[in-house]
Amino acid sequence: MVEQRHTSGFWPSLYEPFRQAGARIADWIAPASEASAEADAYRIAVELPGVEAEDIALSVDEGVLSLSGEKRSSREEKGDTWYFSERQYGSFSRSFRLPADADGDKVEADLKDGVLTIRVPKRKAPSEAAKKVSIKRG
């Protein structure tokens, strides 16, 4: 006989804050991103609101583009009878395996309005035309 457990009522609401906290932690560890391919390059856009360019490290090693850094942001509001302060700190990292035709030596990056845009040019395709090879006589 299989035991069935009832999941409605008190218990799911007890665990809900932990699920939300887990999602927020995942957002800091691996920031949201999107990747696309164009005719001559690959583009990766990564959401990094509140992060300064000097707090970001970007590298390419053996076909893997790695991004890491630290977010340090704070917000403070005051009123006549109230005070609110919110601080967010934490490290993040993200890695992307580049396609075989990506030129990792010519990566460019731009940070604007909290979005880091990374451009990875594609290598030129080798010529498809046959090449005649001359033979020397010895």
Helices (H), 1-138: 10-29
What's the pTM? 0.64
Cα separation, 93 vs 10, whole angstroms? 36
Residues 6+ apart with CB under 8 A from 114: 47, 48, 49, 50, 51
Tokens, residue 83: 């005070």
Q: Tell me if 103 sits within 8 A of 122, measured CB to CB.
A: yes
* Residues 97 and 64: beta-carbon distance below 8 Å: yes
User: What does the block give as tokens for 102?
Assistant: 């990506």
CATH pick for 29-121 out of 2.60.40.790, 1.10.150.170, 3.30.1490.20, 1.20.120.450: 2.60.40.790
pLDDT digits (tens), the chain, 138 positions: 554 555 555 555 555 555 555 555 555 567 889 999 999 999 999 999 888 999 999 999 999 999 999 887 666 777 777 776 666 677 888 999 999 999 999 999 999 999 999 999 999 876 677 788 888 887
| Strand, coil or helix: 59 | strand
